[in-house]
Amino acid sequence: MAFAWKAAGITYNRYLAVAARVVRRSLKDDKRLLAERRGEMDLRFAKWEGGKQGENKSLADANMAGMAQHAGQSQ
């Protein structure tokens, strides 16, 4: 039996991010605001080719672009 996140075509990290967002949104306002601040991320990455660093990209933006590309391929 396959895991639900695999069947949905997303990575485990993305699955965890979605689950965490759902939990944060279910909290009462005072606790929700504190939890949402902890959930913000600003990660960046760069691909290295030929010994040189490529352009820095936001991980969140790259993840959203990858999900959109995957959704377009599966239709």
Q: Which of 18, 20, 21 is nearest to 4 (CA)?
A: 18
Residue 75 has pLDDT above 80, yes or no: no
* Same domain, residue pair 36 and 66: no
Residue 73 has pLDDT above 70, yes or no: yes
* Same domain, residue pair 34 and 51: no
The number of folded domains in the chain is 2
- Condensed to tens digits (0 to 9), the pLDDT of residues 12-60 reads 988 888 888 888 888 898 888 887 777 676 778 888 999 999 888 888 8
Tell me what pLDDT residue 52 has: 92
Structural domain of residue 26, as residue ranges? Answer: 1-40
Report, as an integer, the average pLDDT of 59-70. 83
* Same domain, residue pair 55 and 27: no
* Same domain, residue pair 50 and 28: no
* Same domain, residue pair 32 and 59: no
Instruction: Give the whole-angstrom CA distance, residue 15 versus residue 33.
Output: 21
* Same domain, residue pair 34 and 48: no
* Same domain, residue pair 53 and 18: no
